[in-house]
Structure 1
Amino acid sequence: MDSAAADGPHSGPGPAANPLGHGPVLLLTDARLSDGRVVDVRISGDRIQAVGTAGGLGPLPALPGAPTSTTGARIDLKGYLLLPAPAEPHAHYDAAFSAALPTPPPETATDLTRRVTEAALTSLGYGATAQRTHVRIGDVHGLRRLEAVLTARQALRGLAELQAVAMPRLLTGLAGAEGRAQLREALKLGATAAGGCPELDPDPAGYVQVLLDAAREADCPVDLHTTAADPAQLARLAAALGPLRPRVVLGPCGALAPGGATVLAGSGVRVVCLPQNGCCTGLEGRSRGQRPGLLRELMEARVPLAAGGGALRDPANPVGRADPLEAAYLLAASGVLAPEAAYDAVSNQARAALGLPPVRVDAGFPAELLAVRGDSLPGALAGGHSRLVVHSGRVVSRTSAVREFADTVALALPRQSGGVDGG
């Protein structure tokens, strides 16, 4: 049988024998940028040290204290597009992969930690070097789901940055006393942000106020999980946020009524949408879709917009994926965002929602990068399967996709240096 590889002569970033990880210096050669330039990129430690024309940066320097013949790693990225790494701003890893499990799913510490870790690694394999997951606390869950996320976060150090949003169900009145105590305990344990869904509490405004008080006390950001259907309610919420607004994220806001985007305009609040499954509530059951026209309204109001994956094969979306490029593809395919803006929503806008600095393929910026097979951003969004992921200057994941055809099909196809589909 003859075969044709989807990635042409380079089935993955070479050399094929190069292991994941490397020393303090990494040289990426012949990488194409989204503006069409082909460059070499030298990384030292966790920063991009230099970007130059292909072949213009010279050989790798010898490593300090090592034999003169020893250098860092060199990776050929010919045929690949080099981009700022995406981030996942809105996930539910404590429920990931639970769609096929018994109801209720097992919640032992071992099972929870395994599913959270698998979810984070799945997202990392697609390129998300920074991730934020919403975690239910209180009720029958106590803090065990959060503890599983924090255990996974520790295990993932050096591979990806994992943030946790503590989400109590109730915060007001006598019924919310346990939630208030557990929220403060969660933030002391290491939860990154205070969050939750105000609509689930009998007193949504009171819920928000308790949450904001806890966030101020812990000096942490706020990530509210809301459908935000009523613009008047949203206006009251925005007013209550006060000085915290630049550190507040709202998502997924899938049911936001017309006029809601105008309320958020200029507020400093960021919105995270979920193109892959429209909306989710953090509860059991299927999610509702995103209201048509919402994204256009948010863009026209210049509300900072990031995009996330949401459910990962849980009851809210049994076929959910954790691929940021799929989210960007859906944004671009909707016709509301150009491919460049769509990718920005899953990369630098998503990083901003997580409180992280921006990334550019330029000297001095964090070495958080994604190399994806393709010669242009639209091509990469349409089918970039082969990927190489760099976190803190270190190669942490590599995926190589090869497609084969039967003899008669392969012989009928013209041979192209870029492979069958460049993916």
Structure 2
Amino acid sequence: MSEPTSAGPVDLLLRRAQVAGTEGLTDLAVSGGVLVDPPADGLARETFDLEGRLVTPPLVEPHIHLDAVLTVGQPRPNVSGSLFEGIAVWADRVKDLTVDDVLARTREVLRWQLANGVQHVRTHVDVCDPELTALRAMVQLRQEARGVVDLQIVAFPQLGILGYDGGKDLMRRAVELGADVVGGIPHYEMTREDGVASVEFAFALAEEHGLRVDIHCDETDDEHSRFVEVMVAETLRRGMSGRVTASHTTAMGSYGAAYAYRLVSNIARAGLHMVVNPLDNSVLQGRFDTGPVRRGLTRVKQLQEAGVNVAIGHDSVMDPWYPLGYADPVQAAMVLVHVGHMSGDEELRRLLSMVTTAPAAALGLEGYGIRVGGPADLVVHDAPTEADALRLVPRRLLVLRDGKVVARTRPAETTIAWKGEESTVDFLRPQL
């Protein structure tokens, strides 16, 4: 049943919106911070004519390392561009962390994310620091940003739980200080046995405190790295279906077909969420290959065909692992089009859901989505279709949170002189 509009003019009316996943244009009305039926009389305190532009729910970032953003080149560059040199560089940078340092860098990137339409973020925070400096900063920022950009904090042991001295105690302290999610990095532990034990510890800690699990798993080209199967088993044994995310899992691209088929089936059975990070992993993986060079991706299509929820993460913004990026999940989705062979018509439509509804499910967000009676949280893309949003990666025209405009872009106008006549160019396919 539709919600009635409030008496008098609505607060905001968005005319001629193309809501993602629907046919035809529609009007969206906002009153009291929620979406309501458009008023029959069209009266509104403020009106925008979207002229057929695409509207999606807020973008959701399921995997980023906010504590490391904007540290590229500090204390030295990652010369090889490899994952492991990046870890070594970051281990040195951690020694100079202060709460103010982390807050200053992270606040700036949160501003970028909001401008890009991101309103929910899961950030992995390195807890291999006896002072837990970055974690304490992130707990402070979570409170500060709540209601604008909502944060989930993952206790992430960058140097391992068993492989780092006091790692278990630091994970416990991180949870006590307010981490929302328990992380891990089993492929970085010293032995296969330690890796298995680290996964078991992470699940036990999460179960004890009623938290979710999100583990950096099998982020390597080594086909013998097989910790996702351990996550599947722990999820089933502990009844944690829907509360567990496996991030990266790039080794799946190197598994044999028979093993991969069985593993994907078990991932679906366990209800794991998967996060693929095309920006970082397309440049970090395959560094030991001389040709053909692997793409550094998990089996996105195979997982989705099995009914597994797969979300796209940005992972890094100008840090020791990835020197580029501006915190836009749509850019990450555009890269997955190419490295994931996802240029089919249906696949292009699906990709934007991988930065909206898919990560929302992984984070366990409630009340998410565009519907009458729901929160007026949405993003207006300066493009008419999902494919155009991916092709152009345009700035977001409007971002609404609780019915209020929290980000706005005034698009540039491009003109050309063609045989003595000036005309505009918008890079959209003309209606011929």
TM-score if structure 1 supplies the norm length?
A: 0.80
Q: What is the identity, as a one-letter code, of the residue corresponding to 1:111?
A: D
CA–CA distance in structure 1, aligned partners of residues 149 and 296 of structure 2 = 33
Deviation of 1:360 after TM superposition, in Å, equals: 3.6
Contact 2:34–2:376 (8 Å) recurs in 1: yes
Contact 2:249–2:298 (8 Å) recurs in 1: no
Contact 1:28–1:76 (8 Å) recurs in 2: yes
CA offsets 1:333-380 (integer angstroms, 9 cap, x no match): 444361221111110001111111364432133322110112222112
CA offsets 1:148-199 (integer angstroms, 9 cap, x no match): 11222222223211111011244348x65x3222222222222111112122
Name 2:180's counterpart in structure 1. Answer: 192
Name 2:406's counterpart in structure 1. Answer: 396
Contact 1:351–1:358 (8 Å) recurs in 2: no
Structure 1: unaligned runs, 5 residues or longer: 1-22, 61-70, 282-287
- Label 1:75 to 1:31 Cα distance change in 2 as closer, same or farther (>3 A): same
CA offsets 1:241-283 (integer angstroms, 9 cap, x no match): 23123200010112222404333122100000012222699xx
CA–CA distance in structure 2, aligned partners of residues 290 and 261 of structure 1 = 19
- Label 1:328 to 1:292 Cα distance change in 2 as closer, same or farther (>3 A): closer
- Label 1:82 to 1:98 Cα distance change in 2 as closer, same or farther (>3 A): same
Name 1:30's counterpart in structure 2. Answer: 16
Q: What is the identity, as a one-letter code, of the residue corresponding to 1:365?
A: G
CA–CA distance in structure 2, aligned partners of residues 188 and 279 of structure 1 = 35
Q: What is the identity, as a one-letter code, of the residue corresponding to 1:47?
A: V
For residues 5-404 of structure 1, what are the structure 2 equivalents within 5 Å? 25-34=11-20, 35-50=22-37, 52=38, 56=40, 58-60=42-44, 71=45, 73-103=46-76, 104-105=92-93, 106-139=96-129, 142-168=131-157, 169-172=159-162, 176=165, 178-202=166-190, 203-227=194-218, 229-230=223-224, 233-241=227-235, 242=237, 243-256=239-252, 257-258=255-256, 259=260, 260-278=263-281, 290-291=295-296, 294-333=299-338, 334-336=340-342, 338-357=347-366, 359-383=368-392, 384-404=394-414
Are 1:420 and 2:397 counterparts? no
Contact 1:165–1:223 (8 Å) recurs in 2: yes
> Percent identity of the aligned residues?
28
Structure of greater relative contact order (alpha carbons < 8 Å, 6+ residues apart): 1
CA–CA distance in structure 1, aligned partners of residues 372 and 72 of structure 2 = 44
CA–CA distance in structure 1, aligned partners of residues 215 and 13 of structure 2 = 40
CA–CA distance in structure 2, aligned partners of residues 253 and 167 of structure 1 = 16
Q: What is the identity, as a one-letter code, of the residue corresponding to 1:147?
A: R
Q: What is the identity, as a one-letter code, of the residue corresponding to 1:245?
A: S
Deviation of 1:90 after TM superposition, in Å, equals: 0.3
More helix by share: 2
CA–CA distance in structure 1, aligned partners of residues 353 and 124 of structure 2 = 22
- Label 1:412 to 1:153 Cα distance change in 2 as closer, same or farther (>3 A): farther
CA–CA distance in structure 2, aligned partners of residues 139 and 308 of structure 1 = 25
CA–CA distance in structure 1, aligned partners of residues 66 and 419 of structure 2 = 41
CA offsets 1:24-82 (integer angstroms, 9 cap, x no match): 943322322233422221223443223x5xx746313xxxxxxxxxx5x4333235221
CA–CA distance in structure 2, aligned partners of residues 369 and 96 of structure 1 = 26
Deviation of 1:303 after TM superposition, in Å, equals: 1.7
Runs (4+) of structure 1 moved beyond 4 Å? 228-232, 409-415
CA–CA distance in structure 2, aligned partners of residues 150 and 32 of structure 1 = 37
Q: What is the identity, as a one-letter code, of the residue corresponding to 2:427?
A: D
- RMSD of aligned C-alpha atoms? 2.9
Q: 2:103 aligns to what SS in structure 1?
A: helix
Choose 352-361 or 376-385, whichever is displaced more. Answer: 352-361
Q: What is the identity, as a one-letter code, of the residue corresponding to 1:199?
A: H
Q: 2:242 aligns to what SS in structure 1?
A: helix
CA–CA distance in structure 2, aligned partners of residues 358 and 261 of structure 1 = 29
Q: 1:121 aligns to what SS in structure 2?
A: helix
Contact 1:127–1:324 (8 Å) recurs in 2: no
Contact 1:309–1:321 (8 Å) recurs in 2: no
CA–CA distance in structure 1, aligned partners of residues 150 and 378 of structure 2 = 14
Contact 2:312–2:332 (8 Å) recurs in 1: yes
Q: 2:138 aligns to what SS in structure 1?
A: helix
- Label 1:108 to 1:39 Cα distance change in 2 as closer, same or farther (>3 A): same
Contact 2:228–2:249 (8 Å) recurs in 1: no
Contact 1:309–1:324 (8 Å) recurs in 2: yes
Q: 1:42 aligns to what SS in structure 2?
A: strand
Contact 2:218–2:228 (8 Å) recurs in 1: no
Contact 1:348–1:358 (8 Å) recurs in 2: no
Contact 2:115–2:396 (8 Å) recurs in 1: no
CA offsets 1:274-320 (integer angstroms, 9 cap, x no match): 12222699xxxxxx964467222222332210111111111111013
Deviation of 1:231 after TM superposition, in Å, equals: 7.3
TM-score if structure 2 supplies the norm length?
A: 0.78
Q: 1:196 aligns to what SS in structure 2?
A: coil
